[in-house]
Amino acid sequence: MECLSANDSRADNYLNIIQVHDQYENAVEKELSAHDSQEGEARLSNSPLSQGFRAQCIINDTGSMTEPVSPSPPLLDVRDLACAYGSLVALSGATLHVGHGECVCIVGPNGAGKTTLLSNIAGLYRPRSGTIGFNGKQIAGLGPERISQLGISMVPEGRRIFGTLTVEENLRLGATVRRRDGRVAEDIERMLELFPVLRDRFRSEAGKLSGGEQQMLAIARALMSRPKLIMIDEPSLGLAPLVIDRVYAILAELRAQAAITIVIVEQNTARIADIADRIHVVRNGRIVLSGSPAEISGTTMIDDAYFGFTTDPPDIGA
């Protein structure tokens, strides 16, 4: 990033941005003249200006300043999404934002619209109205193959692996959207390192794997397309508690290693607190509560929203 001297004429443009309000003017001038760069940076980054307007002016060792940093747009931006199966309304004004590298968990009772929301994003259904933005492009109404090529992969509820095909064949199918890509073998090896049990079952028919092994295969198959965003529908469905622990440990490891963005649909709210950056509760086709685990843990807000004890719980998250 270019660093501008305080004497540079272009600095005036940035000072105009910083001096949004008279009460900040003196503070900024003090920071510009401060000799302690670390102290100046800390005070300014914690100021209401930085927090409220998301513009940062960082003082470096020479007393010059960097350009203000604008917040990056979300990777996934769903707005006012509506979807119906005939006369049955499944989604009504659902809005969801997922930032780069985030892990967002969606919870809610059966029939709330969680799977329908993921299916619309993945292109399996066409929304009746609303928009779906992904990585700066509008994707609502595009087909699943095109959306997969753009960088979204989905692990469906119930895993949906091809039982008569081998583990290897299932993994190779996950890479078909990449067309002429010579790194498929390299990625298969990476999946076998991430999921060691699949190496032992590599030549076996996928239908002969246990439920937990099939879930790992489904996740690995989705990762073979090298997605920017992976959506996983009910990863704990039908699995033993120890297997669920292993699946979530792998998801946490995957996020740490690959910096991938993850959206998880889950009914078991106890499983998501350790991995989620934000939690959204869906009920009757609408997102009725959003917040970080820290904001809503130890309260009844999730239960109230999940079971409908309140009409419209407050949105306390970003």
41-45, 86-90, 128-132, 248-252 — most confident range:
128-132
Does position 38 have pLDDT exceeding 50, yes or no?
no
Residue-wise pLDDT tens digits, 242-301: 888 888 888 888 888 767 899 999 877 777 888 899 999 998 899 988 888 888 776 777
Does position 45 have pLDDT exceeding 70, yes or no?
no
Higher pLDDT, 298 or 210: 210
Q: What is the predicted pLDDT for the residue at 298?
A: 65
Q: What is the predicted pLDDT for the residue at 258?
A: 66
Q: What is the predicted pLDDT for the residue at 6?
A: 45
Q: Mean pLDDT lowest for which of 52-56, 127-131, 206-210, 306-310?
A: 52-56
pLDDT > 70 in the chain, percent? 72
Higher pLDDT, 184 or 313: 184
Q: Mean pLDDT lowest for which of 86-95, 132-141, 234-243?
A: 234-243
Q: Mean pLDDT lowest for which of 102-116, 181-195, 254-268?
A: 254-268
Average pLDDT over residues 25-39: 44
Average pLDDT over residues 148-167: 90
Enumerate the β-bridge partners of residue 65.
4, 59
Average pLDDT over residues 202-220: 92
Residue-wise pLDDT tens digits, 50-101: 343 333 333 344 444 444 444 678 999 999 999 999 888 999 999 999 999 9
Q: What is the predicted pLDDT for the residue at 29?
A: 45
Q: What is the predicted pLDDT for the residue at 309?
A: 64
As a whole number, the mean pLDDT across the chain is 77
Q: What is the predicted pLDDT for the residue at 177?
A: 85
Average pLDDT over residues 41-54: 39
Higher pLDDT, 30 or 91: 91
Q: pLDDT grade, residue 316 (50/70/90)?
A: low
Q: What is the predicted pLDDT for the residue at 33?
A: 46
Q: Buried b vs exposed e over 166-179: b needs ≥16 C-beta within 10 Å?
A: bbbebbbebbebbe
